[in-house]
Amino acid sequence: MKIVPREYENYQPQESANEHGESRSPRILQDMADPALSDKGKFQKLHLEVLETGDVVKSRGGDQALALTSGETIQRSSDGSFRLFDRAGLELGVINKQLPQRDIYPPLLQLEYPGGVTVTDGGVRSIISYPDGTEVHIDSRDGFASVRRGGRTYSIGGRVDDFNGFK
Residue 161 is assigned to a structural domain of this protein: no
How many domains does the structure of the chain reveal? 1
Query: Does residue 41 form part of some domain?
Result: yes
Whether residue 115 is contained in a domain is answered as: yes
Beta strands in the chain (DSSP E): 47-50, 56-60, 63-67, 73-76, 82-85, 96-98, 109-112, 118-121, 125-129, 135-139, 143-149, 152-155
Domain that holds residue 88: 6-155
Question: Which among 77, 84, 83 has a CA at the least distance from the CA of 61?
Answer: 77
Q: Would residue 163 count as lying in a domain? A: no
CB 56 within 8 A of CB 50: yes
Q: What is the residue type of 19?
A: E
The answer to whether position 91 is within a domain reads: yes
Residue 68 is assigned to a structural domain of this protein: yes
Asked whether residue 56 is assigned to any structural domain, the reply reads: yes
Is 164 within the bounds of a domain? no
Its pTM stands at 0.71
Provide block-wise average pLDDT over 10 residues at a time, the chain (167 residues).
Answer: 43 42 47 48 74 90 91 91 92 89 78 94 90 92 89 82 58
